A and B are shown apart, each in its own frame.
Chain A
Amino acid sequence: MPDKLPLRRAYLYRLLALLMAMAMIAAACGGDDSDGGEDAGGEDDGGAQESEDLDEGEPQPGGELVYGLEAETNGGFCLMEAQLAISGIQVVRTIYDTLTAPNEDGEIEPNLAESVEPNDDFTEWTITLREGITFHDGSPLDGEIVADNLNAYRGQYKNAAGENIRSPALFIFVFQDIADVQATGPLEVTVTTKRPWVSFDWFLFGSHRVGIMGRSQLDAPQSDCANKLNGTGPFKLERWVVNQQFVAAKNENYWQTDEAGNQLPYLDRVIYRPIAEDAQMMNALESGQINALHTSSTEQMGERLRPLADSGDIELNESDAFGEVNYIMLNVSKPPFDNKNARIAVAAALDKELLIEVRGAGVGEPADGPFAEGVLGHVEDTGFPQYDVEAAREAAAAYEQETGQPLTFTYSFVTGEADTLTAQEYQTQWGEAGISVDIAPTGDQATHINRALAGDFQAIAWRLHPGDDPDTQYNWWYEGSPVNFGRIADPEINRLLDEGRTNPEGREEVYQELNRRFGSEVYNIWTSRTIWAVANAPEVNGLFDWTLPSGSGDNPGLGAGHQVTAAWIGE
C-alpha cells in the first residue's frame, strides 16, 4: 500500500481562507448591468412600459400613501426661493395648486384659475379665479393674494411694511418679460407683458413650481416661509422631520370633487419618505415599508421593478412622455467646442443604443433633440449626427487640421458609481474614434451645478428640458442668459426663441426649426430620454386618476411628479 502524506491542518485552514476570499471576490465581480435588461420580464424594447392596471372597485376614503422619494428637500418650500428637484416638486404638488396645469394631450388648461385668457396680441393676460377656494389656514384665495404671489416670483413683492421680503433667484429671469401684475377684481388678476407672450399660461404652471402660497407663508420670515406651509392643495402639512418623513394630512375643505361629487382627496394622509439609496428604496417597497415610489434609475427599473410588475406584486408606470432629456452639455464659448468639427466628432462617436444597453439595463430610448415626442417642436429627424466612427474620426481630423491641436477634452459628471461607469463607457467610445478624453467627477449635485454656472467645464453631464411648452426653455438657450450654461451664442437660436415666444402663428414650425438647429450645430450631445417610473403596491389605486377641473386627464409625464389627489387604498 503506498504511503499517504498527511495534509497539515495549518495548510488546510490557509486553503480554506483562500477559497473563502476567492468566493467573495467572485461574488463581487459577478453579474453586470446588461444582465438586468435580459432577465427583466415582459417586453424588452427599451422604452417606457406600463404594467397591468390592478386598480379595481370604487374609491374608498381613508388610508395612507407612504411614498418613497429619492432625496430630501433641505432648502424647504418657500416656493419663490426654493430650489426644487423632482422630490421637492412631488411634495409641492401635494400642498399647493398651480393656476394652470397640462392635460393628457400636453395642452395647458386652467386649474386653480377658472380661466386664463390673453388679449388679441398676447400682451395682457386676465386670470379669473374660482370662487370659494381657501388656503389651509382658512384664508380666501382672491385676486390680491394671487397678484402678490406672482409679483413675489418676479422679485417685485413688498409686504404691508413695504419690505421686499422674498428673494427669488431663477424666477426673476423666467418672468422678466412681465411688465406688471395687478389684482383687478376680487377674483381677477391682470398680467401685462413687455412684449407679446403667447405661452405665458404655461409659465403659471412652471413644472408645478409656481404654486400659490397663502399670506401667512408669503409674508413669513425666510425660515418660516420654508417650513410653515400654507397652500390650497389636497393635503396640508402635518409634520416634517427632515430626512425622515414629510407627513401631509387630508385637506377637508379641498375645492375639488370627483366625478360623482365626492370630496377629494380620498386618503387621510400622504407620507413622503426620502430614501437616498436606490436599492433600499426598492427593498422598502418590496417589504411593504412604503407602498409607492418614484425613480429614474433604469437599472432598478430593469432589474427590480419590471420583474416584480410581471409577477403582479406591484404596479409599475414608466413614462418618458413629455419628459426631460439626458445629454452632455458642451461649453461652446471656449476650445475645443467652440469648433463645430469637434462637436460633430464627439457626437458621432457615441453609440447610444449600446450605452442604453450597457448602462441602462436596456431601459431607455435614444434622443436626438431636446423635445420629446408629443411636445411642440418634436421632429423625427433633427439632423443630429448619428453613430459613425469613421465620420467621427474625419471630424476630429478636420478639427486638428483647423486648430493644429488634437481633439482632447475633459468630461465632468456628478460623483457616484452610476455616473462614473457611464463616463467610463463614454471615454471608451470616444477613444475608439481617436478622441482622448479625461473624465473628472465634480463632486455632489450642488458643486456640479456650480461648475456649470461658472462655465468651468468643457463637457458636462446634464438633464433638463421637461416637456412643457418649448418657450419655457427660453432662458436656458438665449444668448447672455445667466442660465445659458453652455454659453450658446447663436443669433438664429435667439431669433427662433423670440419668434416662438411672441408670434402665435407657426409656432410648431419655429420650434421644429429650433430643434433642427440644435441638430445641425450640435451645441449639446443628446443621449437619451429620461424615463421616470412610479411603482406602487397593489392596494394603492387611482394614483394617476386625477382629472383637471375640465374633466381632462392628467398629463402622463412623470418628470415633474404627479398628483396623488385621486389615490385611494383598497383591500
Chain B
Amino acid sequence: MRAVAQRIGQLVVVLFLVTLFTALLLSMLPGDIGETIIPFGSDEQREAVRDDLGVNDPIWTQYGRWVGNFVTGDFGKFYRQGNVTEVSDRIQSTFPVSLQLMVYAQLLALVIAIPLGVYTAHRAGSVADKATNTTAYALLAVPNFVLALVLAYVVGVELGWLPPQGYVRPTENLGEHIRSMILPSISLAVGQIAVYMRLLRTDLVATLQQDFILMAKSKGISERRVLWRHALRPSSLTLLTVAGLNVGTLIGGALIIEIIFSLDGMGRLVFDAISERQVVAIQSLVAIIAIAYVLVNFLVDLLYAAVDPRIRHGRG
C-alpha cells in the first residue's frame, strides 16, 4: 500500500516536471500555429484558431488550463483546416498499435537474448562466446531502419513470405495481424537482442563467481539447473531495468519503423503533432507517454521483488 502511494506520488511529480518542461519547450518553437494550421486562411480565421487554442494567453495560464482539462479526461483537439479531431480518438487508435509493436519486439528480444546470454556466460571465453559477441556488436551497429528496409524487400518481396508493410488489426484477422507485425518487430528487436544479451552475460558471469553457485554445484545440482534456476534470476535486474526503460522509449519512439511499415502508432502521432505545432495535443501525448513510462517502471520494480528474493525479504 505504501509502495503504491509512493509510486502515485512519484508519478505526479514526474508528470508535472515532464509536462511543464514540454510546455516551456513548445512556447519556444518557431512558427505561428495559426499560419501552420491555416496557411491560406484569412487573418480572422487564423486568429480564431489561436483563440481556440488559447495560445495568446501567458504560458502559465495555458499550462494551468491544460492540466485542468487533462485530469478531467479532455486531452484536447487536433486542429486542421476543415477538420478537428479529438486527441483521445487518435490515441485510442494509435496506442494499441504502438503497444503491440513494443510488446512483440520486447518479447522477441528477450526470448532470443536470454538463452543467448545464459549460453555465452556459461561458455565465457569460448569460440562460441566470442562469435556471439561479435555478431551482437555487428547487429547493434546496423540502424534499425536499414534492417527494416532490407527485411521488407528480401522477406516481403523477393521471398514473399511476409507482407512488406501494412497493419491488420488482431480483431480483423489474427493470423494476418501476426504476419504484419513480424518484420517491424524483428527490426526493433535486433538491436535490443544485442544489448540484452550483453547485459545478461555480464551479470551472469559475475553471479557465477559467487559462493552460492559453488555451493549449488557442490550439492550435485545440474549445470542447467544452476544456470536457469539459481544464477539467472539474481542476474536479471539490470536486464529488467533496461527493458523497462526501453518500453517507454518504444511506445512513442518507434517513429521510423512505424513509417516504414505503415503502422499508425503513437510515434507518428507525436511527430505529426509536433510538425503541425498542435501544442495541446503534444502536451497530452507527452503526458500519456510519461504515464506509461512510470507505470511500466513501477511494474519493473515489482518484478525485482519477484525475481530476486533478497529484495523481497529485505537485502540480507
Contacts and interface: CB of A to CB of B under 8 A. Distances in A.
Q: Does B bind A?
A: yes
B68 to A, nearest CB: 23
B262 interface: yes
B81 A83 contact: yes
Contact of A280 (B36, B130, B261, B264): B261
Interface residues of B, number: 48
Contact of B81 (A10, A169, A279, A443): A169
A81 interface: yes
A464 interface: no
Interface string A98-112: 000000000000000
Contacts of A450: 31-32, 35-36, 39
A83 B165 contact: no
Contacts of A9: 127, 130
Given A280-B152, A283-B157, A289-B166, A447 B36 contact: yes
Nearest to A76: B83
A119 interface: no
Contacts of A552: none
Contacts of A169: 38-42, 45, 81
A167 B45 contact: yes
Please indicate which of the listed interface residues A10, A13, A28, A75 has the most CB atoms of chain B within 10 Å of its own CB.
A75
Interface in A45-70: none
A76 B268 contact: no
Interface in B27-75: 31-32, 35-36, 38-42, 45
B217 to A, nearest CB: 28
Interface size class of A (residues with CB under 8 A): 35 or more
A271 B146 CA distance: 29
Interface in B269-291: 272, 275-276
B156 A287 contact: yes
Contacts of A227: 83
B88 to A, nearest CB: 14
B228 interface: no
Contact of B165 (A173, A225, A277, A483): A277
Interface stretch (A15-23, A336-344, A373-381, A497-505): A15-23
Contact of A274 (B127, B152, B262, B276): B262
A81 B82 contact: yes
A75 B260 contact: no
Please indicate which of the listed interface residues A222, A226, A243 has the most CB atoms of chain B within 10 Å of its own CB.
A243
Contacts of A244: 167, 262, 264
Nearest to B82: A81
Contacts of B138: 17, 20-21, 24
A380 B32 CA distance: 42
A446 B41 CA distance: 14
Contacts, number: 141
B298 interface: no
A284 interface: yes
Interface in A230-250: 241-244
Contact of A75 (B80, B93, B153, B268): B80
Nearest to A79: B82
Contacts of B137: 17
Interface string B154-197: 00110010011111000000000000000000000000000000
B12 to A, nearest CB: 33
B259 interface: yes
B82 A454 contact: no
A225 B85 CA distance: 12
A159 interface: no
Contact of A482 (B40, B80, B85, B268): B40
B284 to A, nearest CB: 17
A274 B261 CA distance: 11
A269 to B, nearest CB: 16
Interface of A: 9-10, 13, 16-17, 20-21, 24, 28, 74-78, 80-83, 167, 169-170, 172-173, 222-223, 225-227, 241-244, 273-277, 279-280, 283-284, 286-287, 289, 443-444, 446-447, 449-450, 453-454, 482-483
Given A9-B130, A223-B83, 12 more contacts: A74-B83, A75-B81, A169-B39, A172-B42, A276-B259, A287-B160, A446-B39, A450-B32, A450-B35, A450-B36, A454-B35, A482-B40
14 contacts: A9-B127, A17-B138, A21-B138, A24-B142, A28-B146, A74-B78, A78-B82, A80-B82, A169-B39, A169-B41, A169-B81, A241-B93, A244-B264, A273-B262
